[in-house]
Amino acid sequence: MEIPLSVPFLTTALTGPLQDLERKLLSQQAKIECWLRQQWRKDPPPLYSSVDLRNAGFKLAPVDTNLYPAGFNNLNREFFPLCVQAMQATLEALPAHVSTILLIPENHTRNLFYLESLSVLREILLQSGFAVEIGSLREDLTEGVEIASQSGQLLPMYPVVREGNRLLVHTQRGVFNPDLVLLNHDLSGAVPAILQGLEQQVQPPTELGWATRLKSQHFSHYQTIAEEFGGQFGFDPWWISPFFQRCHEVDFLTKKGESCLLAGAELLFAQIEEKYREYEIPHRPYIVVKTDAGSYGMGVMSASSVDELRGLNHKRRGRMASTKGGEAVTKVILQEGVYSFETVGEAVAEPVVYMIGKNVVGGFYRVHADRSPTENLNSPGASFRPLAFQQSCNMPDLQRADACSANRFYSYGVIARLAALAAGREQTAAKGASHV
Amino acid sequence: MEIPLSVPFLTTALTGPLQDLERKLLSQQAKIECWLRQQWRKDPPPLYSSVDLRNAGFKLAPVDTNLYPAGFNNLNREFFPLCVQAMQATLEALPAHVSTILLIPENHTRNLFYLESLSVLREILLQSGFAVEIGSLREDLTEGVEIASQSGQLLPMYPVVREGNRLLVHTQRGVFNPDLVLLNHDLSGAVPAILQGLEQQVQPPTELGWATRLKSQHFSHYQTIAEEFGGQFGFDPWWISPFFQRCHEVDFLTKKGESCLLAGAELLFAQIEEKYREYEIPHRPYIVVKTDAGSYGMGVMSASSVDELRGLNHKRRGRMASTKGGEAVTKVILQEGVYSFETVGEAVAEPVVYMIGKNVVGGFYRVHADRSPTENLNSPGASFRPLAFQQSCNMPDLQRADACSANRFYSYGVIARLAALAAGREQTAAKGASHV
């Protein structure tokens, strides 16, 4: 008999033998699920999230956790029943009753791929049995429009209107006064005034937007969780957690704060080298420098030595100096680089795992043919391969069948959920702060 | 773009155009999900259930709702992530915290197919992150044994022990004192003393066992629900609900109570004939007679006229006179027969839909090559075809693509959930009664 797994059966790109970590996770599956259940009770996860993972074989770690995920269109369509079931359970668990939802997207509604994701997210909500309208914050939008997504799906979209402390939209069918404002807008830069002090429920809370959220805070919670989890299940937390440092007064153009960067990098390389020695890892350590607040994909660079960081040319400095919304980067996180030893075809790949509430609902590979195993793949030229449900993975024995790729994906689902738990703790902390 | 659906994409056997009912359900999907969500709040569904449906084209109705389902082994393995996600959500919603579960199976543990289902159910619970042991009520079991299922999976099974008001088992690793007693035993005949007055949670509650449950009560709740639902969504409740009558003092051998049977059948045929005339249905009405309390599959017969019922020969009377556990049948339900116009290959098929809590988690076809469209398929010789996830169902437009079989399965999931809601109302009523 095959052994059923609690997360989708997915095919991973890695085919080598399982490493110690994966073996430990697989053999303690029931206890891990039980541990997670207890954690969610204290710190419920955010409404949805996507986690970028890197699998170096000796190490499997999250490198970014997105709380306003796009890319729903890259999920395998077989995952829809899971998405809908998870969305129903997650929205039903909110404190106040929800029947009607105003979905607020990013403003860059000329990106057809983003619109495709938005269209799929809207379908998940509709099929979950909620009334949904899309309300845009775009200031140039003065009346309802229909915008075509990449596949030609027409999305009705209305300008958001604030009346008192409520957000509304005026549709052809009348006023839509929603129970829930659902953000798919990452709030880079600042929380727009129109979203502040609403009496409606807002999910995820605006405190988790990039206006206030910091990657270093996320990874600080994650580090604590990795230590608790590693302690509980018997392994070095470093196997699942990247070292990091942060510098908060940096100006790449004027070199202000460079000493913090260089000292942080020095420390980070020393920490990684020690671990590489301990585990006899025959690779060269590297680090990744990125903006601490803001979307990933921009303002990201890899460096394989402190000197490389010191000797940045003007072009690379300029590239690091501003982010998505054009905001100047002053807060920076230096993160241990995690090699990606997964490939799809000839290209380097990293798995992206999607969660709705506590539930892993699918994932895909971000694939980049022009990048090396140390580079950021979330950049122009990346493509996406939906993970397929695993169809036939014969496992006569859980102990021996660990190299089976369905088994392997279980580990991805565990690590991704630990990252969602870290986001849950960010959320708890933000709530505590806002109640003080 | 394909339209995602909220229940598994499944391939149904029916390929003809959609009927009015299916069209009405599909076009009001969001409202239906919302309606169901409100119902579950008042009457939570039982922990799990399986519903036998019959699709006559002009009518789609449940004919039996099982609250201690077997057959988990007949579900497509692709459904496992859905089963696990649903089981986690359902068990977390129970009033008291659950980490440890004692699973109580049927006593007929020589049935290898039943053991296979039990093994899969146990795996679902394990993978959901619960500690699980199997505790048997078999009186001949004096110590722990390992029993091989059909596929050779070894199931450890222990005799149940009662200490005070708790059920325990003694395993090799010590005493297992569970938080939850999970019944997969349908309690035909009587609730064993060992299960009465437990301080542990028992799910589904013993009041839903066949010792007290009546099909006629279930269908009476279901009839009310069909009227509410049909009223809400604009169709004749008869489209989804079979007429029924009951007789509670029948002895097939002595012909005691025959007048009730014949009068009931007379009334039932008159009701059905009127509906067949109203909708110009070119078929001959038939009825099904079965035991009102007890497992289906035994004590079931079809009759296409009152005379056929009157003229029963001794052999057919004998077959109706006793049920699974050997109990004498005195309580009988007469139910409108629903033709099954679905076929798999040349054989008549009926869909069986599985739910865990509020969630549709899969289904299969019960197929019987030697039966006609009016006959009971739950009999020796039946085989099972797992429903496959629908892989490619191109639907440019929800309005036009109704014949798509993924669409069609949505209707099955709705009707099955209405049956689970009827069981939820039985549960609410039983609770109310036990608190008086």
Q: Tell whether A380 is within 8 A of chain B (Cβ).
A: no
**Among A374-383, B133-142, B214-223, B260-269, the least confident range:** A374-383
b/e burial code for range A222-246 (CB count within 10 A of at least 16 → b): bbebbeebbeebebbbbbbbbbbbb
State whether B354 and B253 are in the same domain: no
d(CA B75, CA B214): 27
Q: Which of B435, B432, B45, B427 is nearest to B208 (CA)?
A: B427
Partner-chain contact B85 A80, CB within 8 Å = no
Domain boundary among A309, A337, A365: A337
CB B221 within 8 A of CB B237: no
Q: Output DSSP code: residue B256.
A: B
CB A118 within 8 A of CB A155: yes
Burial label, A144 (beta-carbon count in 10 A; 0-12, 13-18, 19+) = middle
Work out the pLDDT band at B286, boundaries 50, 70, 90: very high
Structure-token match 């921009």, residue found: A298
* For testing contact with chain A, the best of B1, B34, B72, B412 (most A CBs within 10 A): B1
Q: Output DSSP code: residue B206.
A: G
Taking contacts as CB-CB distances below 8 angstroms, the residues of chain A near B78 are: 9, 78, 389, 391
**Which of A2, A29, A131 lies at the smallest CB-CB distance from B30?**
A131
Domain tally, chain B: 3
State the smallest CA–CA distance between residue B321 and chain A in angstroms: 39
State the smallest CA–CA distance between residue B231 and chain A in angstroms: 19
pLDDT at residue B326, rounded to an integer: 65
pLDDT at residue A405, rounded to an integer: 56
CB B239 within 8 A of CB B21: yes
Partner-chain contact B83 A4, CB within 8 Å = yes
pLDDT at residue B29, rounded to an integer: 83
Decide if A193 is inside a domain.
yes
In the stretch 381-400 of chain A, residues with CB closer than 8 A to chain B read 389, 391
State whether A139 and A186 are in the same domain: yes
Domain boundary among A321, A337, A353: A337
Q: What is the DSSP string of A172-193?
A: TTEEE--SEEEEES---S---G
CATH number at residue B119: 3.40.50.11280
In terms of CA atoms, which chain B residue is nearest residue A97? B38
φ, ψ (nearest 5 deg) of residue B50: -130, 140
State whether A432 and A343 are in the same domain: yes
CATH number at residue A329: 3.30.1490
State the smallest CA–CA distance between residue B215 and chain A in angstroms: 29
State whether A124 and A43 are in the same domain: no
Partner-chain contact A34 B92, CB within 8 Å = no
Average of pLDDT values for B359-371?
A: 84
ipTM: 0.77
Q: Does residue B5 register a pLDDT over 50?
A: no
Q: Which of A209, A170, A215 is nearest to A186 (CA)?
A: A209
Decide if A73 is inside a domain.
no
Phi-psi region at A179: left, alpha or beta (left = phi > 0; alpha = psi -120 to 50) = alpha
CB B366 within 8 A of CB B352: yes
**Which of B30, B81, B99 lies at the smallest CB-CB distance from A126?**
B30
What is the tens place of the pLDDT at every residue in B122-154?
Answer: 999 998 889 999 999 999 999 999 999 888 889
Structure token digits, residue B358: 């509020």
d(CA A287, CA A247): 14
State whether A13 and A31 are in the same domain: yes
CB A66 within 8 A of CB A107: no
State whether A224 and A365 are in the same domain: yes
Taking contacts as CB-CB distances below 8 angstroms, the residues of chain B near A149 are: 1
**∠ Cα B153 B154 B158 (to 5°):** 145
- Give me the residues paired with residue A301 across strands: A289
Q: What value does the mean pLDDT of chain B take?
A: 85
State whether B258 and B309 are in the same domain: yes
Decide if A232 is inside a domain.
yes
Q: Which of B9, B108, B128, B8 is nearest to B68 (CA)?
A: B108
Structure token digits, residue B425: 């109302």
Taking contacts as CB-CB distances below 8 angstroms, the residues of chain A near B127 are: 4-6, 29-30, 33
Decide if A72 is inside a domain.
no
A269 is in which domain, residue-wise? 244-337
- Per-10-residue mean pLDDT for chain A, 436 residues long? 39 58 85 91 96 90 95 83 90 90 91 92 91 94 91 92 97 95 92 95 94 94 98 95 93 85 95 94 92 72 90 80 70 92 77 93 82 75 63 35 59 94 96 66
State whether B39 and B83 are in the same domain: no
d(CA B430, CA B205): 9
Who contacts A279 (Cβ-Cβ below 8 Å, separation ≥6)?
A: A58
Q: Tell whether A10 is within 8 A of chain B (Cβ).
A: no
State whether B194 and B88 are in the same domain: yes
Domain boundary among B329, B349, B375: B329
d(CA A41, CA A230): 20
Decide if A44 is inside a domain.
yes
Partner-chain contact A82 B85, CB within 8 Å = yes
pLDDT at residue A315, rounded to an integer: 81
Decide if A363 is inside a domain.
yes
In terms of CA atoms, which chain A residue is nearest residue B130? A30
* For testing contact with chain B, the best of A2, A85, A88 (most B CBs within 10 A): A85
State whether A181 and A283 are in the same domain: no
State whether B191 and B233 are in the same domain: no
State whether B173 and B110 are in the same domain: yes
Q: Which of B152, B149, B156 is nearest to B172 (CA)?
A: B156
